[in-house]
Structure 1
Amino acid sequence: MRKLILSTLLLGVASLTFAQKDFNRWSLEVNGGFNKAMGPLTPGYLSPTLNIGHIDLGARHMVNEYFGFKGNLGLGSFHEVNGESPEFTTKYLTLTAQGVGNVGRMMNFESFSKKFTLLAHLGAGGGKMSFEKQVRTTEDDYYYIITSGITPLFRLSDRISLSGDISVNVNGRQTYTFDGNAYNADVQPDPLQNPYVHATGTWWTGTLGLNFYLGKAEQHADWYIAADKYATKVELAEAIDGIKDMLKDSDGDGVSDYLDKEPNTPTGARVSFNGMTLDSDQDGTADHLDKCPFLPGPSSTGGCPVEEITEQADYLRKAIEEGYVNVYFGFDSSKPLSYSNSSAAFVANFLQKNPGINLEVKGFADELGEENYNIKLSEKRAKAVYDLLISAGVDSSRLSYKGYGEDTSVDKSSPDARQMARRTSFEIK
C-alpha cells in the first residue's frame, strides 16, 4: 500500500513542473439575448425590460487557471415598448478589452461539482450609437464604456461549455438619450444646440451562448485543477524526501507516521485509523490482550466478565451490530487499510464459529465528490470486504454486499470524521 502511495505521489510531484502545459488557454465565445436601456431616455419614451436584440462575439486567453483576458465585440439595437412609447430604433456597436477571473476555481467549486464554474469580468472600451426615426439628430454618438458582469459556465464536453452572462454597462460622454430624441442633459437648450455636458448612460445585457475551447490539451484552463508547483530541482528533491518520511511506519501497526497519533504501538495491537490502540469495551485492557474485547471485565480474568460467558455469539453479535467492528479505507480507495484487516478476520472467525448466521457487508463513502460516484465507490468497498470474507473460507451463500453511498452523519469539514465515513460495516441477517 505504501509503495503504491509513494509511486502515485512521486508521479504527481514530478509532473508539477510541466502543469502549465497541461491545459488549453484560448476560447471563442458566441452569445445572444436581451438588452435593456435604463437611462437616459426622453420623457415619454420607454424601452422594454427584456428587449431581444443583443449579440456578443469574443475571444478569451487564460494566463492560468484563475486569471485571463478577453476581447469582446457587442452589437444590437434598442426599441420602444410597443403601443406604449413613440417609435425609435437605436443601433449600437461596442468593442471592449476585459480582465477575467475564474471565481469557481478560486472558491473550489470542484469540491461539489466539476461541471460548473463562474467567471467574473471587468473592462473598458468604446462604442457608437446610430439613430433611426429620430427627431433631433441623425449624427452618430460616440462614447467610452465601462463594463462588468458574471458568466456561469456549465461544461458540456472538454471542447464546449454552455454559458450565461449578465453584464452592466456604463457609457461615458454620452451626448444623446438612448432613443436619440434629446440631448443627455437636464435642461434642453433653446434654440437647440449641443450642450456638451457629456453625461453617462446605463444599460445591461443578459445572454446565453457557447464557449468553444481551442488547443491540443485535453482540458481548458476553466476546468483544469493543478496541484502545488515546485519551481526547482532542490524543491522537488525536498518534496520527495518529505513524502518518504511521511510514509514511514516506525511501529509497524499499518498506519504511516504522519497519521499515527500513537507512534509506539505495542506489537500485535489492534489499532484505529489514526494508530491508537483499541480498547473497544473500555475496561482498561487493550483489545489484543483482552480475551473478551467487547465485554468489560477485570484484567485478572483477561478482560472478561467474572461470570462465565456461555454464549460467545451473543457478545460478538452485539459488537458487530453496534458498529464496533468496521473495515476502513483510504481516500478514493476500495482497498482496505492494512490496520483494518483484523476487523475482517474477526468477522470471518465469528461466521465460521456460527454457521447458522448470514451477513450483509455495507459500504459507505464520505461526502466529498459527486453522489453517483460515491455510490459506486461504496459498492466497490463492500465488494472488496465480501471477497476477503470468501477468501477466508466463508461460504458466499451466507454473504451479501451493498453500497449505501455517502455517510452524512459525520462532520464533512473534519478530516478525522471523513475518515470514519470511509468504511464498511456489517449487519447480521
Structure 2
Amino acid sequence: MKKFILSSLMAGALALTANAQEFNKWSIEATGGFNKPMAPLTTGFLSPTLNLGHVDFGVRYMANEKFGLKLDYGLGTFKSVDGEGPSFETKYNRFDLQGVANIGRMMNFESFTRTLGLLLHGGAGFGLVNPEENTFSDFDDNVYNFIFGITPQVKLGNKVALVADISTILNGRQSVSFDGGSSETYPYGANGTWWTGTIGLNFYLGKAEQHADWYIAADKYATKEELASQINGIKDMLKDSDGDGVPDYLDKEPNTPVGARVNSAGVTLDSDGDGTPDHVDKCPFQPGPSSTSGCPTTVVVDEVDYLKKAINDGYVNVYYAFDSDKPLGYSVSSAQYVANFMKKNPGVKVEIKGFADELGPEDYNMKLSESRAKAVYDLLVASGVDASRLTFKGYGEDTSVDKASADARQMARRASFEIK
C-alpha cells in the first residue's frame, strides 16, 4: 500500500511540475569566420583553405525542446590566395529559411553534461554572387541555394551560449564561376558548392529561466535537494505511528494499541457495538458491559450464531490496494478471526468470496477477484485450517458501490466470507 501511495503521489507531483514549466522559444545569433569556395573555379584560380570573411545573423524559433525554425542572413567575400594564381574578389550574400533539430536533447546529452549542446539545421533560400574582378566583374548572379549544417553549443548562462557552426551551401542556377573568370555551361542544378565555418554567440530571449535548447522537463523536481525534500515529505505522510497498517495521513486514530483490529480508516473496531473495542472484548460478537470485559451478564444465544451472523453479513473482510491481490496489513486480522472461529467449530465450512472495484476490464477484474480470494485461502490454510473445509471463488466487480467514490472503491476491493 505504501509503495502504491508513494508512486501515485510522486507521479502526480511530477506531472503537475512538468505541466507548470515554460521555456523561452526565441533566440538571435551572430557569428563570424571563414568561407571556402569549392567549385566552380576557373582553371588556375586558387582560394585559401580558410578565408576570413564570412558573417552570419540569424533569428530562431523553437516550437519545443527538439524542433524549430531559423531565418538567417549570411554575407562575405571570396578572395584569392595572395601571391599564387590570378587575383579575384567576389562578394556574396544569401537568405535562408531552415528547420532546426536539437540533437543534444534527442540524444539525451543531459545524462552526461548540462553545458554542451548540438543543433542540426537545413533548408533553402536564395542569394547573390557578385564578382568584383575579371571577365564577369559587376555581374549579378542570382542563385537559389540549399544549406545544411551542424552547430555545437556551449552554455555560458541562461541567456547566452557560445556557438560554432560548419555549413555546406549548394548554389543552383549559378551562371559564372566564383572568381568571375568564366561562365558556366550548365546554369541549371546545384552547381555551386562552398562551405563556411564560424563562431559566435547565441542570445536567448524571453522571461522564462531556460531556453528550449537547454530545457529539461524533469529539472524542477530532479535536483537532489528538491527531490530529497519531496521524498521526505511523502515519508512523513506514510509514517504509521501505531503500526496498524494505516499511514498516519489516513489514520483517524493514529494511536490505537498494538494488536487492535481497525478498519480502513484506522478506527478501532467494535463489532458488537457495546463500547468495548474488539481487541479487549472477550466476547467481540456479543454485547456486554465493560465491567465483564464486553461479555453479556445474562445467558444469550450461542456465540457461534453471533460470529456466523457477523461473518455472513459482511462485517469481517480482508481489503486490498488498487490492482493488488496482497491483503492490506490492517485487515489481515479478519482472516485470523475466521481461522480462530473455524478451529473452535470443526464442523463449519467457509467459502471465501473475492471482489474487485469497477475500474479496469471486466474479465481482468474477474481474475483479480479470484486471486484475492485465493490469497485469503492460503492465509487460512497457513494458519492451520484444513483445506478441505475451505473453498474460494472470484465474483468480479462489486457494482453495489459508487465507483465515482475512492472510499467506496476501496471497500469494494475485498475478500468476504460465507459460512456454509
Normalising by structure 2, we get a TM-score of 0.50
| TM-score (norm. length: structure 1) | 0.49
Larger Rg: 2
